[in-house]
Chain A
Amino acid sequence: MLHNKVYPFYFTLGTIILYMVFFVIPAVMGLGYAFTDWSRYSSDMNYVGLENYRILISSENNYIHYARNTFLFTLNTIVLKTILGLAFALLLHNGVKHLRSLYRMIIFLPAVLPMVVVGIIFHSVLNPRRGLLNELLRMVGLGAWTQQWLTDPKLALLSIIGVDTWKGAGYIMVILLAGLQTIPAEYYEAAQIDGANALARLRHITIPLLRPALIVATVLNILYGLKIFDTVYVLTNGGPGYSTEVLYTAIFKEFSKGRYGVGTALSSLLFFVMVFIGYFVIRLMEQGRTHD
């Protein structure tokens, strides 16, 4: 066919080969290695059946707890980022009338900073003795509110969630702002004539029409949350104890300890979860595009 001559298949090969070698082959290999006692310290590898998966769900190992932390992190950051992102977006789109681009630029700024750097900065800000946050609280007379932000096992995960929300809310705002711009102003005019107040307009016009953008933002947040690593690694490295350990910091620890079999089993489980979610993401993203 003429088409294959003009648009030759070899154009796609570079992408396909790199993608296969670095993504697909490791993922498929992992499904097999998950059934072995593969480790860094032994050259022979034996089939162990479901032993690695048993380790993952057994109670003497804390994996269920790490999965729970990952879930809590994901759920809370989704809720917080979406609420704040929506509030910021509404403020910039319907509220202020000037300086919008400037505000947007500054609010989005944390999203482009390297997470490691953000972690290091907040490690200092959240320091109980000299950190900026506790200093500020003492300065305004709220000394009683000062906390051991990162070393209190009850608070550490919440602090991590807070830092991540600070970094990511601007990104969600930008997605929702793009969504708000697609809502025709006439809808609001009609609602106004019908006597709908601001809250009713938000509930019956803005939120329903923002649904596609809200769904995409949520799904992106899920994928991001399940993969969270740097934030936790730099702020607490899973501590105090295991109170903030998440799946990917646990995976890194398995890697450092050389326990490749268990790590691979865990990675393979995550592979299925994320490919399942990914299927929906891609359908959504493609849909988003055909609306033009």
Chain B
Amino acid sequence: MTKDRPLTALAGFRLGRLPTAKNVGQQGIYHLLAVLICLAMYAPVHLVVVNSLKDRTDARSMNIERPTMLHWENYSTVIEQANLERAFLNSILYSSSSTLLSTILAAMAAYVMSRNKTRLNRFLYFFVIMGIAMPVNFFTLTKVMQITQLINTQIGIIVLYAATQLPFNTFLIYGFVESLPRELDEAAIVDGAGPLRLFFRVIFPLLTPVLATAALLSFLDVWNNFIFPLYYLNDTSKWPMPLAVYNFLGQFESSWNLVSADIVLTILPVIAVYLLGQRFIVSGMTAGSVKG
């Protein structure tokens, strides 16, 4: 967005004036400010990375000094002691299955609600996206989870997570379907495609950008979620990473090097997904606030 804009649009302040000493100085101050803000945002992440490589005594004070020796073994220790392999696989399982489920279901629903705007479908669309605001009633949800025998099961938490992602994903995908020309559908129908083939062969591939956004946001949201397993998974062997980290902190509060290593392993996938999908994530998080 920066390169091909005219100079005037860039700053708003500097209407086509030639660079002057004052402006160079001003730019310097702006950059200094920006760098300071970035430091404040990055510092806590830096803190855990640095301390995850120290020994126990040095990590006690959790300062930002460099480690005297790199203790990589902290990572293997914490993986073993906190049973992280299990928690990691649980997190992967919950995040990917619920993302897949909620993205496909929301895409199918959003597509039909957007294409076939009957009175019922319009009502259902608003009804579903009200879920973006609706709070969870954890007490009666417990009852529902018990009746459906989903409480304290992995399949239960996956379906529950998928349900929590549906309202926003439906909202996001609905807007995108609106922008796809209907002529595509008509051409496919003339060629004799049924509804399933029309959707999965013709429409679905065209939805890729919005599906990527929906999937990335769901994945992060589920990966980071703490409250649902806290309420609905009693069995420690089914816990995902955030709960395992929290529990580990309770047991090893004096070993901040290990706690830090555990934290780094928890946020590494998040940061990787963020760096790879930044564009999609930002567009999804601002959808509806200005334009779709």
Contacts and interface: CB of A to CB of B under 8 A. Distances in A.
A29 B140 contact: yes
Nearest to B44: A121
A270 B108 CA distance: 31
B52 to A, nearest CB: 12
A107 B34 CA distance: 9
A83 interface: no
B27 A96 contact: yes
21 contacts: A6-B195, A11-B199, A15-B109, A26-B140, A29-B137, A30-B137, A100-B2, A101-B2, A109-B271, A114-B241, A116-B226, A116-B243, A120-B249, A125-B44, A125-B47, A131-B62, A185-B12, A229-B227, A230-B227, A264-B140, A288-B288
A78 interface: no
A23 B136 contact: yes
A288 B137 contact: no
A223 interface: yes
Interface in A97-123: 97-101, 103-118, 120-122
Contacts of B166: 15, 18-19
Interface stretch (A57-65, A152-160, A211-219): A211-219
Contact of A12 (B15, B61, B124, B242): B124
B62 A125 contact: yes
B281 A112 contact: yes
A16 B242 CA distance: 29
Contacts of B155: none
Interface of A: 3-9, 11-12, 14-16, 18-19, 21-23, 25-27, 29-30, 33, 38, 88, 91-92, 94-101, 103-118, 120-122, 124-125, 127, 130-132, 135, 166, 170-171, 174-175, 178-179, 181-182, 185, 188-189, 192, 198, 201, 212-213, 216-217, 220, 223, 226-227, 229-230, 234, 251-252, 255, 260, 263-264, 267-268, 270-271, 274-275, 277-279, 281-282, 284-286, 288-289, 291-292
Given A18-B166, A26-B136, A275-B134, A113 B34 contact: no
Contact of B263 (A98, A117, A217, A226): A117
The 9 A-B pairs of least Cβ separation, nearest first, read A278-B133, A285-B288, A15-B109, A114-B224, A185-B9, A22-B163, A7-B116, A95-B30, A26-B140
Given A4-B116, A15-B128, A289-B288, 4 more contacts: A12-B124, A182-B290, A282-B130, A284-B288
Question: Mostly helix, strand, loop or mixed at chain B's interface?
Answer: helix
A18 B282 contact: no
